[in-house]
């Protein structure tokens, strides 16, 4: 049986703000994206800055799930086809064929979606949804520091997930280390991207150097804390930073951070297009996932 409201005639234009629930008990939420549709085509973008905040507040697993669903919606906007993964896979394709990305479906989502990703009320507008109006609305309602990103299949999140899948037998991912497990840490506990071991330790992060510098420095500070503590015990084999050089003209602080890590001999900075280098090292040196004991 179709979801309530389906079959209604599509209005000329409407938009819906997309939120991440950051405190379900209190009902707190953060605007992370915007969907807008007119007579011609859908428009969708999400803010890497805002999604980065979700990662810092809720952790990497929540961040990964949120990005997965945002990308699923981005693919649907591009392909105008039924989604096969993520949030939209919960409803049968037979019920919603030809109905996705239209006003009745977003009305349905705004009422019944209670997951990490939620949808604001449908707001109708009497003008056609074009690129200029969408960009202005995105800056007003979501993020005035970022024009919005419709992520490409080769962005850093895809690189991280691909490397994670291919090295699952070689590396432990999203590893939290405490001072009891690694004496010498400055912080009581830190989390790094991956950690493996043969005779020596292999550690690393997959880094989005386009993130706001505060979040970027916090992520790399934790990696550096682990690197320093392991080095003091003369156990460090390799420390990787996987990430691409940001533009110095548009992201000067992030570029300075990238350049500083490139200049340090104790780190190997690998562009995302050369991530096979990391995989080959794990294979050649028979690296295994680290097993931590208190």
Instruction: Please give the residue that has the higher pLDDT: either 174 or 49.
Output: 174
The whole-chain average pLDDT of the chain stands at: 82
pLDDT at position 267: 96
Q: Could you tell me the pLDDT band of residue 49, with boundaries at 50, 70 and 90?
A: confident
289 burial level (CB within 10 Å; 0-12, 13-18, 19+): middle
Contact predicate 3/91, CB 8 Å: yes
pLDDT at position 153: 38
Contact predicate 142/32, CB 8 Å: yes
pLDDT at position 7: 44
Residue-wise pLDDT for 74-103, tens only, equals 878 776 533 434 455 444 444 444 456 788
Highest mean pLDDT among 46-50, 71-75, 115-119, 189-193: 189-193
Q: What is the rounded CA–CA span in Å between residue 210 and residue 213?
A: 8
Residue-wise pLDDT for 210-267, tens only, equals 888 888 888 999 999 999 999 999 999 999 999 999 888 888 999 999 999 999 999 9
Question: Which tokens belong to 91?
Answer: 């409803």
Q: What is the rounded CA–CA span in Å between residue 3 and residue 121?
A: 17
189-197 vs 201-206, strand pairing mode: antiparallel
- Sorted by where each begins, the domain ranges of the chain are 13-141, 156-289
Mean pLDDT of 15-29: 83
pLDDT at position 135: 87
Which of 35, 1, 38 has the alpha carbon at shortest distance from 15?
A: 35
pLDDT at position 237: 95
Q: Could you tell me the pLDDT band of residue 56, with boundaries at 50, 70 and 90?
A: confident
pLDDT at position 47: 87
Instruction: Please give the residue that has the higher pLDDT: either 128 or 282.
Output: 282
- Give the three-state DSSP class for 268: strand
């Amino acid at each position: 049986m179709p979801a309530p409201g389906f079959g209604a005639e599509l209005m000329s234009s409407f938009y819906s703000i997309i939120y991440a629930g950051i405190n379900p008990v209190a009902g707190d939420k953060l605007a992370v994206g915007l969907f807008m549709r007119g007579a011609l085509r859908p428009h969708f973008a999400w803010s890497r800055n805002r999604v980065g905040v979700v990662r810092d507040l809720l952790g990497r697993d929540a961040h990964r799930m949120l990005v997965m669903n945002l990308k699923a919606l981005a693919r649907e906007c591009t392909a105008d086809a039924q989604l096969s993964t993520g949030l939209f896979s919960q409803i049968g394709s037979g019920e919603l064929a030809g109905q996705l990305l239209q006003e009745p479906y977003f009305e349905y989502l705004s009422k019944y979606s209670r997951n990490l990703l939620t949808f604001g009320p449908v707001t109708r507008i009497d003008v056609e949804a074009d690129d200029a109006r969408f960009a202005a609305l995105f800056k007003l309602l979501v993020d005035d520091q970022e024009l919005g990103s419709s992520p490409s299949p080769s962005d850093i999140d895809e690189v991280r997930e691909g490397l994670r899948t291919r090295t699952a037998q070689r590396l432990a991912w999203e590893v939290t280390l405490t001072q009891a497990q690694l004496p010498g840490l400055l912080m009581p506990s830190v989390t790094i991207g991956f950690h493996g071991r043969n005779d020596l330790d292999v550690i690393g992060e997959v880094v989005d150097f386009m993130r706001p510098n505060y979040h970027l420095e916090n992520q790399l500070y934790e990696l550096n804390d682990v690197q320093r503590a392991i080095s003091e015990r003369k156990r460090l084999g390799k420390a990787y930073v996987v990430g691409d050089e940001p533009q110095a003209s548009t992201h000067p602080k992030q570029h300075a951070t990238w350049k500083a890590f490139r200049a340090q001999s104790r780190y190997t900075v690998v562009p995302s297009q050369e991530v096979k280098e990391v995989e080959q090292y794990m294979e050649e040196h028979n690296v295994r996932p680290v097993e931590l004991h208190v």
